[in-house]
Structure 1
Amino acid sequence: MTPLETNGEEALALSALVWTLSDAGRADRLLSLTGLTPDDLRAGTRDRGMLAAVLAFLEAHEPDLILCARILEVTPLDLVEARRRLEA
């Protein structure tokens, strides 16, 4: 079972957020492009809209989407589908 099947889209998005923040350059780009602040990220860990924004950020840069999916042992489509469900 993938993280998407066992823990839901929120858990997958949180894992993607942790992965995104593990690289300073990628973290800076996330904050710059989304307008989120570190406080927003801390406060938004249960906010489906904020989690969807993190996944949308990854979708916007395919190399990051693919690498994140590989590290999390899911498919890029799993990340995209999680974002869609979080936005619904």
Structure 2
Amino acid sequence: MTDAGSMREQAEALAVQALGFIASDPELLPRFLAITGIDAGSIRLAAREPGFLAGVLQFILAHEPTLIRFCEASDIAPSAVGQTLRHLPSGDTSYESSI
């Protein structure tokens, strides 16, 4: 059985993968930056903030065509993205009660 720390590490890894997917797409990156209010040079710093990685997955989940493209590129099921989100700070309200 996987412990909570390991689940969070896996969730963080998926969110970092999603961030790379966003950053490599010339249409998604400007939209992500505009929505988050972050400039491209500040992404690494922002990624250290609690909730940022959850925001990355929320961005992917908010647009079904983006979700499908990310999942196809990553070879994961779309439902896994939402399930993974719950293991990150600000991913949902149950996160804090689980630590």
Match of 1:18 among 17, 20, 34: 20
TM-score of the pair, normalised by structure 2 = 0.73
2-structure distance, mates of 1:79, 1:48: 18
Letter in 1 for 2:45: A
Higher helix proportion (structure 1 or 2): 1
CA 60–54 in structure 1, closer or farther in 2 if over 3 Å, else same: same
**Per-residue deviation at 1:80?**
1.1
Q: 1:26 is aligned with what amino acid?
A: L
Change (3 A) 1:48 1:77: farther
State the alpha-carbon separation in 2 of the partners of residues 42 and 56 from structure 1: 18
Superposed displacement of residue 48, structure 1: 4.3
**What root-mean-square deviation, in Å, do the aligned CA atoms of Structure 1 and Structure 2 show?**
1.7
In the TM superposition, 1:1-88 aligns within 5 A as 8-86=10-88, 87=91, 88=95
Tell me the matched-pair count. 83
Does structure 2 conserve the Cα–Cα contact (< 8 Å) formed by 1:10 and 1:48? no
CA distance in 1, matches of 2:64, 2:11: 19
User: Separation in 1 of the partners of 2:27 and 2:64?
Assistant: 16
Distance 1:81 1:37 in 2: 28
When Rg is computed on C-alpha atoms for both structures, the one with the higher figure is: 2
With the length of structure 1 as denominator, give the TM-score of the two structures: 0.82
Give identity over the alignment, percent.
Answer: 35
Quote the Cα distance in structure 1 between the aligned partners of 2:81 and 2:49.
Answer: 17
In structure 2, what is the Cα distance between the partners aligned to 1:49 and 1:40?
Answer: 15
Query: Which deviates more from structure 2 when the two are superposed, residues 68-77 or residues 35-44?
Result: 35-44
Uncovered stretches (5+) of structure 1, i.e. residues with no partner: none
